[in-house]
Amino acid sequence: MVEIDIAEGLFVTEPRPALIGARHRVSGQIIFPFPTGNADYDPVVLPHRGTLWSWTVQRYRPKSPPYAGPDAFTPFALGYVELPGAVIVEAPFVNVDFVDLTIGMEMETVIVPLNQDAQGRTIRTFAFRPVGKD
């Protein structure tokens, strides 16, 4: 099975999954995602773990475009995870029951399949899951 990333330079997988942000060369401010083609920023690997800042449940299939997920829609949780000393990132959550989500719980970055492209390749993206929920 051939896998491709949803966007180049969005995350790393080794030694463990983590997002790639950007640090402003003058102010030191960290942002996500990395603004390609902007010489004012240097890439920085963001913390692998963070805490759940806020969340909701997407209970209906979003409009396409921009939604690029599978046609068979299943409700999913998504929200914001605060990566310590860096940024707050919005993403979907995996491997969690909605009723188990609590503000402040520890979350970790994971790489997950999103869908397939016209050539049959699996497109990967990032998500968060509760720590310890393999």
User: pLDDT tens for residues 79-119?
Assistant: 999 999 999 999 999 999 999 999 999 999 999 998 888 88
Spatial distance between the Cα atoms of 65 and 133, rounded to a whole number of angstroms: 31
Spatial distance between the Cα atoms of 118 and 134, rounded to a whole number of angstroms: 30
Tokens of 16: 């463990």
Instruction: Answer yes or no: is pLDDT of 48 > 70.
Output: yes
Which residues share a beta bridge with 30? Answer: 23
73: nearest Cα among 92, 100, 88 = 92
Instruction: Answer yes or no: is pLDDT of 133 > 80.
Output: no
Q: pTM to 2 decimals?
A: 0.88
* Domains in the chain, number: 1
CB 79 within 8 A of CB 51: no
Instruction: Answer yes or no: is pLDDT of 69 > 80.
Output: no
Range of the structural domain that residue 108 is part of: 3-130
